[in-house]
Amino acid sequence: MIRLININKYYRTGEEKVHAVRNLTVDFPEIGLVFILGPSGSGKSTLLNLLGGLDKPDEGEIWIEDREIKSLSKRERINYLNSYLGFVFQEYNILKDLSLKENITLPLEIQGYKKKEINEKFKQIINDVELTGLEKRKVNELSGGQKQRIAIARALIKDPKLIIADEPTGNLDSETSHNIFNLFKRLSKNRLVIIVTHDEESANEFGDFIIRISPDGDSLQQYDTKVGGENNE
């Protein structure tokens, strides 16, 4: 369970103080596909950075399982980033000089996994993201959709309980975007997947829950799309 309690986050731009996340309280489900919608500047990406441990709230509490994130030691925070959480970004952040396999298995190599275990995990993951047969391809030989699947596989190979994706289809055409959201939907059957996007149509089609943040960040509404979009605020 991930719980946010009265979260506030501020930034300074010159002399102006920006209230990026305002009085945000929300409980996330254990598993499922959650979409976060809102206009630019409403604090969506800031919220993902807070959930991902990349930033800290100025006020409020973030609970991961039974621990408040501020209470984690440096080692525990690193372990959270390396094992509990997988990140997928709009920019694929994959290494052009490496093959598909090398890009996907890099996190495990950094963590010192044995070669046999890495190969076993890799075979399963590329099957899950439908990249079988492309193991030796270089990045420049792949389509945008295939590159995004590499980014998803790289997050997935650590077997995280939570996957966070920031505008993961922003650089893709509509058909490829639909396929990527289909993939996230399958992955959310046994883990929590949280996606920030402007694509409201896909959120309505694929989401188990939708969180909408207003332009000024003052209000947050949560909907369960399985029951016809009724307001569960």
Is 80 exceeded by the pLDDT of residue 32? yes
pLDDT value of residue 216: 60
**Domain spanning 2-231: CATH 3.40.50.300:** yes
pLDDT value of residue 153: 92
Q: Are strands 162-166 and 192-196 parallel, antiparallel or unpaired?
A: parallel
How many C-beta atoms lie closer than 10 Å to residue 176's C-beta?
Answer: 17
Cβ neighbors of 197 (< 8 A, separation 6 or more) are 35, 36, 37, 167, 168, 169, 170, 203
Token pair belonging to 212: 């909408």
Q: Specify the amino acid at residue 106.
A: L
Element (H, E) at 101: helix 100-110
Average pLDDT for the chain: 85
Residue 195 near residue 36, CB atoms below 8 Å: yes
How does pLDDT run across 112-135, given as a tens digit for each residue?
889 999 999 999 999 989 899 888
Maximum average pLDDT range among 59-63, 70-74, 216-220? 59-63
Grade residue 172 by pLDDT with cuts at 50, 70 and 90: confident
How does pLDDT run across 174-183, given as a tens digit for each residue?
999 999 999 9
Q: Which of 107, 121, 131, 105 lies closest to 183, judged by CA?
A: 131
Across 15-36, average pLDDT: 89
How does pLDDT run across 187-207, given as a tens digit for each residue?
999 999 999 998 889 999 999
Is 60 exceeded by the pLDDT of residue 161? yes
pLDDT value of residue 215: 63
pLDDT value of residue 105: 92
Is 80 exceeded by the pLDDT of residue 170? yes
Rama region for 98: left / alpha / beta (φ>0; ψ in -120 to 50; rest): beta
- The DSSP bridge partners found for residue 37 are 212
Place of tokens 């390396």: 82
Compute CA distances 53 → 13, 43, 143, 165, whole Å: 22, 15, 31, 14
pLDDT value of residue 192: 95
Domain boundaries, the chain: 2-231
Give the range among 18-32, 59-73, 80-94 with minimum mean pLDDT. 80-94
